[in-house]
């Protein structure tokens, strides 16, 4: 099935992270063997970088979809930029999930949580705070706080965490990130290269008395992430935001 979210934004990306209780292996041979196995499955992933304690295998910057896999001290991830189908978005994370018990020693008891994030970037050459205020706070009690003399909010990056089941082990986090800073507001000159970003994350924690089976958990949060985007995030957050941006252009 094709992904319709791309039509709402300038960049759409899918990120999966497995957060662990114990440190992941950091030995050279173990990490190289893991990344080589990923590269064998995805030959375009040829660039291995290190930033601090994180190692990341990536495609070239010219790649259309830019697949990546990373290993940090207690977190490993995989993702894709601008996937055209859900299969393309989920294939690499699913492949990594199949490898980690055998190549990195990740077991059920070791897993703190699993995250799946749908991210969107919206280009806007102006005050991000104004757009977010107009799109998401218009007519609300919060909007009255902004109705004062002066330039308005210096930082407006709303976020919320919502429990999706009774024991709170399944959660959604919605965050909208403004990248307008105070210097831009004072000068009236805004950076055109920094987008407004939206992150919709489904996180699953282990549930008492249940085995944490990564493959099944990932399938569950994939379905939840799509459902939550379609029913909640797109109509209530994305569309008001894109409409507000369109009216300013």
Q: Please, what are the averages of pLDDT over each run of 10 residues along the chain (249 residues)?
A: 85 97 96 98 95 93 82 97 94 97 94 98 93 90 79 89 97 97 88 93 93 95 97 97 90
Nearest alpha-carbon partner for 99 in 26, 22, 33, 17: 33
pLDDT score of 235: 96
Helix (H), strand (E) at residue 36: helix 28-41
Q: What is the DSSP string of 140-205?
A: SHHHHHH-SSSS--S----EEEEE-STTS-EEEEEEEE----HHHHHHT---TTPPEEEEEEEEE-
What is d(CA 113, CA 180) in angstroms, rounded to the nearest whole number?
32
Regarding pTM above 0.75, the answer is yes
DSSP label at 206?
Answer: -
pLDDT at site 44: 93
CB-count burial class (<10 Å; 0-12, 13-18, 19+) for 123: middle
Q: What local confidence, expressed as pLDDT, does residue 63 receive?
A: 67
Please report the pLDDT score of residue 231 as a whole number.
Answer: 96
Beta-carbon count within 10 A of 95 CB: 15
Q: What is the pLDDT of residue 46?
A: 94
Query: What is the reported pLDDT for 65?
Result: 73
């Amino acid at each position: 099935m094709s992904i319709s979210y791309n039509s709402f934004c300038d960049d759409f990306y899918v990120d999966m992270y497995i957060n662990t209780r114990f440190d992941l292996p950091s030995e050279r041979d173990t990490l190289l063997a893991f990344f080589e196995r990923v590269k064998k499955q995805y030959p375009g992933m040829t660039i291995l970088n290190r930033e601090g304690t994180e190692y990341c295998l990536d495609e070239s910057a010219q790649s259309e979809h830019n697949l990546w896999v990373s290993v940090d001290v207690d977190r490993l991830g995989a993702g894709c930029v601008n996937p055209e189908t859900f299969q393309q978005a989920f294939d690499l994370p699913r492949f990594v999930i199949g490898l980690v018990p055998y190549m990195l020693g990740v077991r059920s008891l070791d897993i703190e949580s699993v995250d799946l994030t749908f991210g969107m970037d919206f280009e806007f050459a102006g005050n991000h705070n104004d757009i977010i205020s107009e799109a998401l706070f218009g007519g609300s009690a919060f909007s009255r706080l902004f109705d004062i003399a002066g330039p308005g909010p210096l930082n407006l990056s709303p976020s919320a965490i919502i429990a999706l089941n009774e024991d709170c082990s399944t959660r959604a986090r919605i965050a909208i990130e403004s990248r307008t800073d105070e210097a831009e507001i004072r000068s009236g000159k805004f950076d055109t290269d920094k987008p407004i970003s939206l992150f919709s994350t489904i996180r699953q924690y282990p549930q008492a008395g249940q085995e944490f089976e990564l493959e099944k958990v990932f399938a569950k949060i994939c379905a939840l992430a799509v459902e939550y985007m379609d029913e909640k995030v797109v109509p209530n957050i994305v569309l008001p935001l894109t409409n507000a941006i369109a009216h300013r252009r």
